[in-house]
């Protein structure tokens, strides 16, 4: 496989050096693997910290900035960051108002963020944690006990980040993050397997004429493998799987997310089909976001995330944000 890298061993460090050069508004500590908004800590503001394995960009480092995360901790590719990174990030963004850890439900992330919370609290930082577990495809997977954390992570980080930016207290920011997660569901599909730099070849076998329904963001197996389907058929499968588990009473935010190698031409076409299905199912749509946001390196495919919103969470979604990966209103 051809990759635009030097050697697999330095791929994360090289990316962080490039990110630092491109985004001087961020303080990127390449050695300690921590990305912090340069104006942190902001007086009176709750700090938001998240992180996970690299390979899902722009999640999480690309969501650091005003209106979203205060800091992010990138691990090695598809590998959890370590507690030292998280403690360093919490200390860097804590203004005395507390810190919220946003944690995707993968076993390594959960264990390491739990340990980091204890260590940070020993150092006088008040920490709350919110677990993101929005994926409806499988109950347990290779990397989780319970549902996987996927596309809803973006909704949690954006809405909780906006509340923190307004100066809302830690208890309220945490409650909003939990509300967003509880009101969100996701479903993903892979058209090709993912290739990690260390392996240099696809991590699983997916024949050219088949797709995998219900995959995770590390290429974990899904519900089933089928012969290739049309965009409309995939949209029906994804939306119906979500609506089996979520009955929206309010309008929804829609994320049509690329897995890394799917061009926008295809994603916008897929979004048209998702909107058709939602209309046929009587689900009102408040906002739509289309693009590669929660990715899996070079995997071709897409995921759909729905989050039902009320007046406050929609207002916070619309609030200004300025990060490398998401920005509007500034």
Catalytic-role residue among 34, 92, 218, 238: 218
DSSP string of 228-251, one letter each residue: ---HHHHHHHHHHHHHTT---SS-
**Axis-axis angle for helices 311-318, 152-165 (nearest 10):** 90
Edge-to-edge strand order for the sheet containing 47-54? 26-29, 34-37, 71-77, 47-54, 99-104, 127-132
Burial class of residue 311 (count of CB atoms within 10 Å of its CB; 0-12, 13-18, 19+): exposed
Name every residue whose Cβ is closer than 8 Å to that of residue 322 and which is 6 or more positions away in sequence: 65, 66, 67, 330
Q: Is 23 a catalytic residue?
A: no
d(CA 316, CA 67): 9
The residue behind tokens 């635009």 is 4
The residue behind tokens 């939306």 is 239
Going from the C-alpha of 295 to that of each of 65, 178, 262, the distances in angstroms are 20, 23, 10
Name every residue whose Cβ is closer than 8 Å to that of residue 95 and which is 6 or more positions away in sequence: 41, 42, 43, 44, 45, 47
Catalytic-role residue among 56, 104, 148, 158: 56
State phi, psi for 27 to the nearest 5 degrees: -95, 105
Active site residues per annotation:
56, 218
């Amino acid at each position: 496989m051809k990759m635009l890298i030097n050697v697999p061993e330095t791929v994360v460090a090289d990316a962080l050096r490039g990110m630092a050069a491109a985004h001087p508004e961020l303080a990127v500590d390449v050695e300690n693997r921590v990305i912090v908004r340069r104006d942190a800590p902001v007086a009176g503001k709750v700090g938001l910290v998240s992180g996970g394995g690299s390979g899902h960009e722009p999640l999480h480092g690309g969501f650091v900035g005003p209106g979203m995360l205060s800091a992010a901790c990138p691990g090695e590719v598809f590998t959890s960051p370590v507690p030292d990174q998280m403690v360093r990030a919490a200390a860097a963004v804590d203004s005395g108002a507390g810190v919220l850890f946003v944690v995707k439900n993968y076993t390594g992330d959960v264990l390491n963020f739990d340990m980091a919370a204890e260590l940070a609290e020993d150092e006088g930082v008040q920490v709350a944690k919110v677990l993101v577990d929005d994926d409806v495809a499988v109950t347990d997977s290779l990397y989780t006990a319970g549902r996987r954390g996927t596309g809803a992570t973006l909704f949690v980080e954006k809405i909780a980040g906006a509340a923190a930016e307004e100066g809302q207290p830690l208890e309220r920011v945490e409650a909003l993050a939990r509300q967003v997660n509880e009101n969100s569901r996701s479903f993903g599909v892979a058209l090709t397997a993912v290739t990690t730099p260390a392996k240099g070849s696809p991590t699983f076998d997916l024949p050219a004429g088949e797709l995998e329904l219900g995959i995770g963001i590390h290429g974990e197996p899904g519900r089933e493998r089928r012969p290739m389907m049309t965009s409309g058929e995939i949209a029906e499968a994804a939306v119906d799987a979500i609506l089996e588990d979520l009955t929206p009473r309010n309008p929804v935010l829609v994320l049509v997310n690329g897995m890394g190698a799917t061009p926008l031409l295809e994603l916008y076409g897929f979004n048209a089909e998702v909107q058709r299905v939602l209309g046929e199912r009587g689900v009102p749509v408040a906002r739509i976001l289309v693009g590669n946001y929660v990715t899996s390196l070079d995997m071709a495919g897409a995921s759909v995330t729905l989050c039902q919103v009320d007046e406050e969470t929609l207002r916070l979604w619309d609030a200004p944000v300025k990060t490398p990966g998401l920005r509007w209103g500034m």
